[in-house]
Structure 1
Amino acid sequence: MLTKRQSSIFLELCEKVGEYYKANYFSDKFNISLRTIQNDIKAIKEDTASLSDIFIIDSKVPFGTRIKILDRERFTHYLNDLKLQSDEYNINYRDDRIYKLLNFLLSQRKSISLTKCADYIYVSKSTLTSDLKELEKTLSKFSLRLIQTKGYIWIDGLERDKRICLMDVSYAYHPMIPSKLISDTEAVHVEFIRKTLMKELLEKQYPISDVEFQNIIIWLNISIRRITNFFYLNDEDIDGEGNYDTEIKIAGNIFERIETKYLIRVPQTEINFLAMYINNHSNFSNTDYISEDLNTFILHALQKIHESYPTDFTHDVNLRISLALHCVPLISRARNNVQIKNEMLDYIKQSFPYAFDIATYFSYLLSERYTCKIKESETAFLAIYFNKSINEYSVLKGNKRVCIITNLKRSEYFLLEQFLYDKFQKYIVSITFVSSNELDDLDLDAYDLFFSTEDNRATESGLATKIAFFPDSNELEKIKVRIEGFKNVEDIMKLFDPKLFFVKDFTEKEEIQKCLVDAASVLYQLDNLAEEIELREEFGSTYFGNGIAILHPMHLLTDDSFIGEIILKKPAVWDTEGNHVNLIFLVCIQKNNLEAFRAWDYLSPLLFNNEFKQEILSVEDYGDFKRICEENLKSHIL
C-alpha cells in the first residue's frame, strides 16, 4: 500500500500523463532527499505492478519518470478511488511532517531513537535532521527545548508549555478533513465540554465573556487528551497564589464529570490550574487561541449572513469555535499564498449548494477584514462546518404541523408516525392523524401540510398528497418537497424565467455571461449584477462539474428569485483550469428566501445524470426545456 507521500507523487504524475518528472523536482517539492524520492518511486512501481494492463510507470535516465496509460476507463476509476482515499493533510510537506513529529515526540515518556522518528514520518535521516531544525524553532516559542544525545531525542519543558504548544500547533491543523468529509469524534468531545462548562458556570452564576468561554473549552480539550495519556500538570506549572474558592468548586465539578465520562483520574494540580485560569483569564492570554478580534469578526460575519439568508448561526457556539480554529491558520496561509487544495471541492459544491454559498460570503467578509484572498478550495472546508451546523441545529426547520388522513387504527399507524418523526424531525413540530369521517369538522388552518394513506376527497381536491403506509425512497422525496414548501413541479419550474432561456453558439465566456446578465439586469432592474457576479468569481470558479456552470452574485440583490439558462451548441472553455461547459445557469435569490437553493437541490441530481442532461442539450425552445424538466422531476421526486 502506498504511503501518503507516494500517493501524492503518483497523483502528480497523473496530472500530466506522458510527461517526465525528474526526482529533483519531487525532492525540492517535499523537502526530502533524492534517495528517499528514489525509494518512493521504486515503491510505487512495485505497488502498481499488478495493474500493468491499465498503466505502467516508466523511468528513463536522464529524463525522469512518467506514467503511460493503457486502459483509460479503468485508469480513471482507479485514480478516483485513490483520490478519495487521500487525506488533504499528509506528511508530504515539511510543515505537515513537523506537526506529526511534534505530536509523536510529545506523546513519548522517554527519549526515542532518531531511527524510529525517521521511520515514523517515512523520511531519510538527512531529511529528519533538516526537519528537526525547524521543529526547534517552533518549540523555542513555547519555552521548550529539543534535546539530542547519542542518537536519541527528547522534548524538555513544563507540561503547561507543552499543552500551550500543542494547542497552538494542533489547532493550526484543525481543518484536517479526510475525504470522508469530517469525523464526529472531535465535535462530540467539544460538545460535551461545552455543555459541562456551561452548566457549572450557570449554576454558580459566574460571569464570563464568549471568547473566554471558547478558549477554556479548547484548553480543556487539550488537557483531557494529555491526562488520558497520563501527562499531568505539576505544582511548578502553576504561577502565583490567590483566593479561588468559587473557581476551585467549578473546576472540581467540571473535572468530576470528565473523570466519569472518560474514566480517568484528575489530580488536584489540574483542578487548581483550571481554577486559576478561570479566575484570572486575562493573565493567561498566552494560552488563548481565539483572539477577541477574531471572535468579534466571526460574530459580525454570522450576523451579516443572517441579514441575507434565513439562517441564524449566531447562537451556535460549536460552529463559532470551529470557524475560529479554522480561520487562524487559514488567514496565515492566505497571506503567505500557501492555501491548500481540496480534492472534494466539486463534490462539496454539488452536494451542499446552500452551505457553500454561505461559506463563499463568509470568505468574502474574511478577505475584506483581514486583507487576504480566500480560494474556493479553502471555502469548501468552511462549507462543511456550515452544513454540519445546518443539519445539527435544524436552522432550516419550518416547524411544520402535519395532518395525516387515514382509516388505519392507532396500532397500525404508530409505525408510520415514528418513521416520519425519525426522517423529518427537524422540520415537523407535530403530526396529527384523523379519519376521513373527521374531515368536515377539521380546522384546516391548524395544519400546514396534509397527507393521506388512501384516496378520498382530500386527495381528489388536491388538499392532501397520497403516501403509502410504508413510504419508499421516492415517496420520502415527495414528502420532503412538500415540507420544504413546493406543492408540485410547477412550484419549482416557476423559478425559471422563460425570458432568460437561450440556445446559442457562443464560444467565449464573456459573451455567454454578458447575454444572461444583460437580459436579467433589464428584466429585474439590477444595476450592478455584472459586478456582483465578477466579485463572486474572485472567490472561485463558477464551474460545478459535468459541463455545468452556475453564475451567482456575491450579495442577494433582488426582490424575486429567478433562474436563467443558456444551452450551448458546442462546449466552450469556461475557466483557467480548462473546464468546458455547455449548460450555464444564472441563479439569483431573493433575500431570506431559500426557494432557488431548494429547487437546485432537486434539479442537481438530474443535471449530473448524463441521460437527462443530453435531453436538455437537445431542446430548441423553453417549452421543450420545461417539459423535459417537469417529466423528469415528476418521475424522480414528485
Structure 2
Amino acid sequence: MLTKRQLEILKYFINNHNKPINKDNLTSVFSIGKRSISNDIKAINQYLSDEYNVSILSIGSKKIGFNASKTCIQNIEIDVNNQFHRIQFSDVSYRVDWILVKLLNANNYIKSANLIEELYISESRLSKDLRIVRSIIEKYELELQSRPHYGLKLLGNEQEKRRLIINENLLSLFSSDNYTNKSINYINSALTDCLVKYKFKVSDLIYQNLIVHIYIALDRIKKGHYLNKTDKLPTEYHHAYQIARDIFSTINKHEAISCPDEEIKAFAIKLQSNREYDTDEYIDQEMEKTVFDILKVIKMKFVIDFTNDMNLRVALALHTRPLLSRLTSKRQLRNGMTYEIKQNNAYAFDIASEYAYQVCKKYQVEIIDDEIAYLALHFIMYMETKIGSNNSKKILIVSSQRKTNTLLLRLKLQQWFNNDLNIICINPSEFSNDIDKSDYLILTTEKEFLNTYSNAISDAILIDLFPSENDYYKVELALNGLLKLDQLINYFHKSLFFSGNVDSKEEMLSILCNKVEKINYTGGQLLNSVLDHEQKVSSYFGNQFAMPHPDTPLTNNTYICVGIPKKPLKWNDEETTKIVFLICIEKNSTKEKVLQIWKYLSFLIKDPNQVNTIIKNPTYDNFIKSVYLFYHHMFK
C-alpha cells in the first residue's frame, strides 16, 4: 500500500497524464526534496508495475510522463481513491459514515471479519463503531440485524434509508464529484424539458430537490434497492404521474435502466405536493438561499453571474452542507492538489475563496485552503463548460501536408484542449485574404506561409507537425487571448517595481500599493482592500510566489506591481515568499480579460526555476529580461 504522499503524487500524474511533467515541479508542488521525490516515484513505479503492468517513464533528462490506456487510468484512479479512504479510516466519524454507506449499498449480509479487514481496525473497535451506527439508524426506524455465520444487514423501509442518506450527509460518499455533476446535468435537462412541456410551475427550491430525488433514486435502483409497494395513486395525482413517467422515460434511455412504477409514483407525489419542504429534505430553504445570496455577492465582485446556473447551485448546496459539518466538527479535508489548483486556476480559486469567506462569516466557522480548493473545482467546471464554450475559436490549420499526415496534430490538439474543438485543415494554396481571421486561431506548419502572409495574418502561430510541450503552451496562451509577447510585458512598468529590505508582509504591501497610488490614486482604498482580502485567504501560490490583490477592483487600468524582498519574506504561518506580484485588475473589466491575466501568470509561477533566475539579479531590467526569455520560446 502506498503512503498518503505517494498517493497524492500518483493522483497528480493521473490528472496530468496527457502532458509531460517537470521533475522540479514535483519538488515544489509537494514541498519535498529531489531524493524524496525519486524514492516516492520508485515506490509508485513498483506498485504500477506489479498491479497494472505500466510505469512512469523518463522523457529527456528533466521530464517524466505517465502513459496508460483510458481504462487502466480509470482503474488506477479508483484504486487510489480506495487507498485514500483507508488512510481516512483513522477518523471514527469517517469510519461510521463508511460503514453506513457499506450497509446501505449491500444486497446481502456483510461479515464483521470483512469490515475489520477493510477498515484496518480491531474487533473491539468495530463493536464500538457499530454501537454508534445503531444509535444513528434508530432515528429512521431501521434495524441492524446480526446473524451468526451470516453477518450484518440493514433492515427497514427503503424510503427511510434514503432519508438516512440525505440527513446524515452521506451522498458525497456514494460516487465521485465528476460522476455526480454529469448525472445532475442530464437529470436537469430531462426535468426541465418535461416541466416546460407540461407547463408545470415549481420554485427554485423545489426544483433543486427534485433533481436530488431523481439522482438518489437512480443510484439506489442501479444498486438493486427498490421502494416498497404502495397503494394505487388517487385520481388527483394522475397529471403528476404522467409528468413523472415522461421524466423517467427520458432518463431511462440515457441510463439504460428501467425504473419501477413505485419510483414514478413516489416522484409524482413529490411533484403534486408542490409545497415548502420540511426538515428531512435534501436542500433546505436556508441552504438554497445561502448559496444564491453568496453567488449574488460573487456577481458584484467578479463580474460573472452564476445565479442562473441551476447545476452549479445544486452542486454547491450539496457540497456546502457536509462542508459545514466538517468545519463545525473541525475535521477539514486535506488536499494534495491545492497549490496546483491555485496556480492553474487562480481566478476560480479566488471566487471559491469569496464563497468560503461568506459561508464562514454566516456560520462563524474557519476554513483552510485545502477545503477552498475542493470548492474551486465546482467553479472551474462551470467556467470550462460555460465561459470556454461561449468564447471558443475555430482553429484553422494551414499545412502543405496531406490531411492524413496532419491527423496526429489534430488529435493532439483535441486531446490537449477540447474533444469538440472545431478544427479545419487547408492547404496554403486554399488560403485567401477574404477569410474572416477574427473567427479563427490560425496555426501553420509552414514558415514560408508566415512570410508570404506576414502583413495579413500577423497573429498566425507556427506549430510543429508533431506538437511538443512548447507548442501546447503557445496554443494555450493564444486560445486565452495572448498572441503577442508585448501584450504581457506591457503590464510590468518600471515605476511599479521594487527591490529592497522589508521587515514584514504588511510593509511590502504598503510599498507596492503606494507605487500604484502614484499612477492611479484611490485615496488609500487600495491598501485597505488588499489587506481585507489577505484576511480572507492566503495569496501564497507556491514556488515562493505571492500574488495579493484588492478585494474589489479599484484602478482604472490593469497593473502588475512587482516586489522582490532582499531576503525571504514570511508571508503566513507556514510559507515564505521571494517574489510578490500585486495584481490590480481594472474596474469594469470583462471576465474574459480577468481570466486571461491569471492564465498568463500561471505559466510563470508554476516554474520553480524562475524565482532563482529573477532574484539572482533583482533589478527591473533583469526581471523584464527573465520574463521575456521565459515566454519568448512559446512564441517562436
Other-structure match for 1:129: 127
Other-structure match for 2:51: none
2:467 to 456, 461, 472: 472
2:306 to 309, 313, 318: 313
After TM superposition, list the pairs within 5 Å mapping 1:124-273 onto structure 2: 124-148=122-146, 152-171=151-170, 173=172, 184-235=178-229, 241=234, 243-273=236-266
Indicate whether 1:557 and 2:586 are aligned: no
Other-structure match for 1:523: 519
2:543 to 542, 546, 558: 546
Structure 1 residues 368 and 95, CA gap change in structure 2 (3 angstroms): same
Structure 1 residues 135 and 425, CA gap change in structure 2 (3 angstroms): closer
| Aligned equivalents of 1:545, 1:320: Cα separation in 2 | 30
Q: What amino acid maps onto 1:554 in structure 2?
A: D
Structure 1 residues 522 and 293, CA gap change in structure 2 (3 angstroms): farther
Other-structure match for 1:574: 571
Q: Which region of structure 1 is more displaced relative to structure 2, 367-376 or 383-392?
A: 367-376
Q: State the Cα distance separating 1:211 from its structure 2 match.
A: 2.3
| Aligned equivalents of 2:202, 2:554: Cα separation in 1 | 39
Q: Which region of structure 1 is more displaced relative to structure 2, 414-423 or 492-501?
A: 414-423
Deviations 1:517-543 (A, max 9, x none): 332344322322233223322333222
Other-structure match for 2:510: 514
Q: State the Cα distance separating 1:428 from its structure 2 match.
A: 7.9
Q: State the Cα distance separating 1:221 from its structure 2 match.
A: 1.6
Q: State the Cα distance separating 1:110 from its structure 2 match.
A: 4.8
| Aligned equivalents of 2:604, 2:483: Cα separation in 1 | 19
Contact map agreement 1:295 1:324 (CA 8 A) in 2: yes
Indicate whether 1:294 and 2:287 are aligned: yes
| Aligned equivalents of 1:7, 1:463: Cα separation in 2 | 46
1:337 counterpart SS class: coil
2:541 counterpart SS class: strand
Structure 1 residues 521 and 392, CA gap change in structure 2 (3 angstroms): same
Deviations 1:441-464 (A, max 9, x none): x38686576666513453146634
Q: What amino acid maps onto 1:331 in structure 2?
A: L
Structure 1 residues 131 and 258, CA gap change in structure 2 (3 angstroms): same
Q: Which region of structure 1 is more displaced relative to structure 2, 465-474 or 351-360?
A: 465-474
| Aligned equivalents of 1:74, 1:80: Cα separation in 2 | 10
| Aligned equivalents of 1:409, 1:623: Cα separation in 2 | 46
1:544 counterpart SS class: coil
Structure 1 residues 134 and 585, CA gap change in structure 2 (3 angstroms): same
> Quick one: percent identity of the two aligned structures?
25
Indicate whether 1:494 and 2:455 are aligned: no
Q: State the Cα distance separating 1:332 from its structure 2 match.
A: 2.9
Deviations 1:98-151 (A, max 9, x none): 111011122334554433333332211221122122222322332323344658
Deviations 1:364-409 (A, max 9, x none): 2323343433332211101111111222224474354777777889
Q: Which region of structure 1 is more displaced relative to structure 2, 458-467 or 496-505?
A: 458-467
Structure 1 residues 339 and 539, CA gap change in structure 2 (3 angstroms): farther
2:596 to 598, 615, 633: 598
Q: State the Cα distance separating 1:308 from its structure 2 match.
A: 3.5
Other-structure match for 1:119: 117
Other-structure match for 1:13: none
1:313 counterpart SS class: coil
Indicate whether 1:98 and 2:93 are aligned: no
Q: State the Cα distance separating 1:220 from its structure 2 match.
A: 1.6
1:481 to 452, 456, 477: 477
Contact map agreement 1:341 1:378 (CA 8 A) in 2: yes
1:132 counterpart SS class: helix
Indicate whether 1:536 and 2:537 are aligned: no
Other-structure match for 2:613: 615
2:333 to 334, 340, 343: 340
1:502 counterpart SS class: strand
Indicate whether 1:324 and 2:320 are aligned: no
2:367 counterpart SS class: coil
Deviations 1:27-73 (A, max 9, x none): xxxxxxxxxxxxxxxxxxxxxxxxxxxxxxxxxxxxxxxxxxxx974
Other-structure match for 1:360: 353
Contact map agreement 1:398 1:428 (CA 8 A) in 2: no
Q: What amino acid maps onto 1:318 in structure 2?
A: N
Contact map agreement 1:311 1:396 (CA 8 A) in 2: no
Q: State the Cα distance separating 1:214 from its structure 2 match.
A: 1.9
Q: State the Cα distance separating 1:597 from its structure 2 match.
A: 4.6
Contact map agreement 1:561 1:595 (CA 8 A) in 2: no
| Aligned equivalents of 2:521, 2:163: Cα separation in 1 | 55
1:75 to 36, 50, 55: 36
Q: What amino acid maps onto 1:493 in structure 2?
A: I
1:307 counterpart SS class: helix
TM-score by length of 2: 0.78
Q: State the Cα distance separating 1:240 from its structure 2 match.
A: 8.1
Q: State the Cα distance separating 1:82 from its structure 2 match.
A: 8.6
Deviations 1:603-629 (A, max 9, x none): 433444344332211234212211221
Structure 1 residues 613 and 500, CA gap change in structure 2 (3 angstroms): same
2:495 counterpart SS class: strand
Other-structure match for 2:629: 631
Aligned-CA RMSD value? 3.9
After TM superposition, list the pairs within 5 Å mapping 1:383-462 onto structure 2: 383-395=376-388, 397-398=390-391, 400=393, 442=434, 447=439, 453=446, 454-460=449-455
| Aligned equivalents of 1:292, 1:101: Cα separation in 2 | 29
| Aligned equivalents of 2:298, 2:277: Cα separation in 1 | 32
Q: State the Cα distance separating 1:166 from its structure 2 match.
A: 1.6
Q: What amino acid maps onto 1:75 in structure 2?
A: S
1:570 counterpart SS class: coil
Contact map agreement 1:588 1:596 (CA 8 A) in 2: no
Q: State the Cα distance separating 1:199 from its structure 2 match.
A: 2.4
2:496 counterpart SS class: strand
| Aligned equivalents of 1:362, 1:563: Cα separation in 2 | 25
1:520 counterpart SS class: helix
Deviations 1:483-524 (A, max 9, x none): 433231110011123222111133433322322233234432
Contact map agreement 2:142 2:156 (CA 8 A) in 1: yes
| Aligned equivalents of 1:603, 1:534: Cα separation in 2 | 22
Contact map agreement 2:209 2:283 (CA 8 A) in 1: yes
| Aligned equivalents of 1:333, 1:239: Cα separation in 2 | 42
Q: State the Cα distance separating 1:303 from its structure 2 match.
A: 3.5
Indicate whether 1:349 and 2:330 are aligned: no
Larger radius of gyration: 1
Q: State the Cα distance separating 1:419 from its structure 2 match.
A: 7.7
| Aligned equivalents of 1:228, 1:367: Cα separation in 2 | 37
Structure possessing the higher relative contact order (Cα contacts under 8 Å, 6 or more residues apart):
2
| Aligned equivalents of 1:300, 1:437: Cα separation in 2 | 53
Q: State the Cα distance separating 1:563 from its structure 2 match.
A: 0.9
Other-structure match for 1:44: none
| Aligned equivalents of 1:310, 1:422: Cα separation in 2 | 30
Contact map agreement 1:533 1:552 (CA 8 A) in 2: yes
Q: State the Cα distance separating 1:222 from its structure 2 match.
A: 1.5
Other-structure match for 1:45: none
Contact map agreement 1:563 1:596 (CA 8 A) in 2: no
Structure 1 residues 614 and 7, CA gap change in structure 2 (3 angstroms): closer
Other-structure match for 2:63: none
Q: What amino acid maps onto 1:255 in structure 2?
A: F
2:306 counterpart SS class: coil
1:118 counterpart SS class: helix
Contact map agreement 2:144 2:154 (CA 8 A) in 1: yes
